[in-house]
Amino acid sequence: MEKEHVKCLIIGSGPAGYTAAIYTSRANIAPVLYEGLQTGGQLTTTTEVENFPGYPQGVTGPVLMDDLRQQALRFGADIRPGLITQADLSQAPYSFTIDENKKITADTVIIATGATAKYLGLEDEKKYAGMGVSACATCDGFFYRKKVVAVVGGGDTACEEAVYLAGLARQVYLVVRKPYLRASKIMQERVLNHPKITVLFEHNAIGLFGDNGVEGMHVVKRKGEPDEERYDVAIDGFFLAIGHQPNSAIFQPWVKTDETGYILTEGSSPRTGVPGVFAAGDVADPHYRQAITAAGSGCKAAIEAERYLSEQGML
C-alpha cells in the first residue's frame, strides 16, 4: 500500500476546507486536501447564493465553490479526489487510509467533513432539489417572499425556521408528525401565536407535485388511523427542518462530540482536544451552518495549525 507523510491534511472540500487550504498554502505549509464524496460540499446542490460577501449580484453554489477551489489551487494547495475511509488519531503523526488503498500520515489535521441534512426519503425531494426543496431557510428563504411555504419538523429548529420564513412569506405551514411540538415553550408560543403560521399537527408529507418546480404537497392526516385523511396543499417551497447528521463517525473514538455527533471544540477555538487536530465548518457547528461562518472557522483552523507546527518546530 502506498504511503505518504504531510504536514497538514485537510479533510473535506466545503467552504471550511477550501478556506483552510487557502490559508495554510499561503503559510507555506503545503497542505493536502481530500475532497470526499461531494466535491465542494453541500453548496454545490444550491442554485442561487445571495448572502456570501463579495458577490453583489449573487452566485450559484457550484460557481462559488469552484472559485474557492481555484483560489486554493493558485496558492499551491494539493487538492485531490478521494475519501478518508479509516482514521487513527491515537498518536502523532496521525494516520489515515484513503479509499482503502493508500496510507497517509499528517502532523496536523483539519476536519472539515460537514454535516448532511436529513430528508424524509421521498423521491420528490430529489426530483425538486433546487426547485423548491431546501434544508436551509436562512439560505433560501429570500426567494419565497410573499409566497407560500411548508416547513417539516416539530423541534426548535423547525419552529425557528417557520418564524424566520413567516417574516418573508405570505403563509407558512408547519408540518408536524406528532400531535404536539417538541420545541421549547417559548418557541412553541411564537409559532402558535403567529398569524402567518398554520401548524398541521399529526400530518405527514408524502409527496410533492408541480411542473416547473414545487407547486404543492401531498399530505396525510392521522396516517394509519380509521379517520385518516389525504389531501393536497398548494405551496411554493418545501423546507426540511428535521436535523442534520455531522460526518464525524470515523473520528469519534478520539474527538469529543455531542449526542448528535457534532465535534466539540475548546471554547470558540477550532481545537478538538487532540493536539494538532482541528475541526471547522458544519461538522462542529450545530447552530449557524452558513457558508460564511464555515469559511471563517476554516481560517481559524488553518491559523491554529500553523501555530501548532511552529510551536513543535516543524516549520
pLDDT tens-place string over residues 68-125: 999 999 999 999 999 999 999 999 999 999 998 899 999 999 999 999 888 999 999 9
Sequence-ordered list of residues with C-beta below 8 angstroms from that of 140, at least 6 positions apart, any chain = 46, 134, 237, 239
Task: State the pLDDT at residue 37.
Answer: 81
Task: State the pLDDT at residue 47.
Answer: 67
250 pLDDT band, cuts 50/70/90, is very high
- Is 66 among the catalytic positions? no
Question: Cell numbers of 34, please?
Answer: 481530500
- Mean pLDDT computed over every residue of the chain: 94
> Which residue among 8, 107, 124, 139 is the active-site one?
139
Task: State the pLDDT at residue 196.
Answer: 98
The mean per-residue pLDDT over the stretch 47-60 comes to 89
Task: State the pLDDT at residue 273.
Answer: 95
Task: State the pLDDT at residue 152.
Answer: 97
Express each pLDDT in 184-213 by its tens digit: 999 999 999 999 999 999 999 999 999 999
Question: Cell numbers of 249, please?
Answer: 463517525
What DSSP line would sit under 35-103, residue for residue? --SSTTGGGGG-SEE-SSTT-TT-EEHHHHHHHHHHHHHHTT-EEE---EEEEE-SSSSEEEEETTTEE
- Is 140 among the catalytic positions? yes
> Which residue among 8, 124, 136, 282 is the active-site one?
136
Residue 9, exposed/middle/buried by CB under 10 A (0-12, 13-18, 19+)? buried
Express each pLDDT in 126-164 by its tens digit: 999 889 999 988 889 999 999 999 999 999 889 989 999
Residue 279 has pLDDT above 80, yes or no: yes
Question: Cell numbers of 196, please?
Answer: 402567518
- Is 136 among the catalytic positions? yes
221 pLDDT band, cuts 50/70/90, is very high
